[in-house]
Amino acid sequence: MTHSIPSLRAVLAAVAVLSATPALADASFLDRFEGRFAGKGFVQREQDTSPRSVSCSVNGTRPSTNALTIAGSCRAAIIVTRKIGADIRFDRATNRFAGTYTGSSRGPAQLSNGRLNGNTLTLDLTYPTPVHGDRNAVMRITNAGGGRFTLAVTDQVDGAPKKTSDVTLSKG
C-alpha cells in the first residue's frame, strides 16, 4: 500500500502538468499576432447588396500573458475608413477565449466561448443590436504562423450562413 501513495502522487502530478499544458499552448497562440500587419479582403455591409473591397492595417500587442490587443483601420474606396480591433483574453480556468470586437457600425460586439482548434480560433460574436436579422454571428481567426492571419465573420443572411467579412493580413 505504501507504493500506491507515491504512485498516486506521481499520477496526480502528471495530470496537473498535462492539464496545464493545453492552457499554456492556447495562450501562446496569441503570440502570433504581435506586430504590424496589412492586407486586403471584403466586408459585406447590411445595407449593401454586394461586398466592398477593403485594405486594412493593424498592430497587435500583448498587454499581458493571456491577452491580445489588435487595433487599426480598414479603408473602403478612398474616403471611407473605419477603426477595427479586438481585445482578446484567454481564461486558463475555463480554457476559453473571450473579449470585444470593434468594427461594426452597430458598436462594439462581445466575443465569447472562444475555442482553439489547431490554427483556428472560433468565437461566438454578439452584436449590440440586430445585424442581418439577429445579434449573433461567428468570428474565425486563423493563424498558422509565418506572419499571416485571416479574420472572417460568418452571419445568417436570409436564413443561410454567409461570410460577411474576410480579411487576410500579413506582417510587415
- Computed over every residue of the chain, the mean pLDDT equals 84
d(CA 145, CA 126): 27
Overall average pLDDT of the 108-119 stretch: 96
pLDDT over 90 at 20, yes or no: no
Overall average pLDDT of the 90-113 stretch: 93
Domains and CATH numbers, the chain: 4-171 (2.40.128.20)
Task: State the pLDDT confidence band at 14, using cuts at 50, 70 and 90.
Answer: very low
- According to the model, what pLDDT value does residue 2 have? 44
d(CA 103, CA 82): 7
Q: Does the predicted TM-score (pTM) go above 0.75?
A: yes
172: which residues sit within 8 A by CB, 6+ positions away? 36, 37, 38, 147
pLDDT over 60 at 9, yes or no: no
69: which residues sit within 8 A by CB, 6+ positions away? 60, 61, 62, 63, 85, 86, 87, 88
Look up residue 93 and give its three cell numbers.
480556468
Cα-Cα-Cα-Cα dihedral sign, residues 109, 112, 117, 119: positive
pLDDT over 60 at 131, yes or no: yes
162, β-bridge pairs: 155
Element (H, E) at 38: strand 35-43
